[in-house]
């Protein structure tokens, strides 16, 4: 679990940096369903904020793991 979270954090960190570095009118596509091969056009600003929130949540979850072991 700990290693999975670290990998997810690393992935989300890179993704948010890449999204932030795109030009303002760049077209961005994302999967709506993880198991699907279909991509949908997304609003870059909204997608960036969603991924940033996921990154914060993943970091908080990683910090909370050692606290659960001591409780």
Q: Which domains does the chain have, with CATH numbers?
A: 2-70 (1.10.287.370)
- Rounded Cα gap, residues 5 and 39, in angstroms: 25
Split at pLDDT 50, 70, 90, the class of 68 is: low
pLDDT in tens, 8-65: 999 999 999 999 999 989 999 999 898 999 999 999 999 999 999 999 999 999 888 7
Half-sphere exposure of 31 toward its Cβ, with a 13 Å CA cutoff?
6
The pTM score is 0.81
Specify the residue for token string 């030009």: 23
**pLDDT at site 71:** 47
| Whole-angstrom distance, CA of residue 23 vs CA of residue 54 | 22
Query: For residue 2, is pLDDT > 90?
Result: no
Residue in the block written with tokens 């904020």: 49
């Amino acid at each position: 679990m700990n290693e999975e979270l670290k990998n997810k954090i690393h992935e989300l960190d890179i993704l948010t940096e890449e999204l932030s570095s795109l030009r303002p009118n760049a077209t961005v596509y994302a999967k709506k369903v993880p198991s699907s091969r279909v991509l949908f056009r997304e609003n870059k600003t909204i997608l960036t904020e969603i991924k940033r929130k996921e990154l914060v949540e993943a970091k908080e979850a990683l910090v909370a793991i050692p606290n659960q072991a001591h409780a």
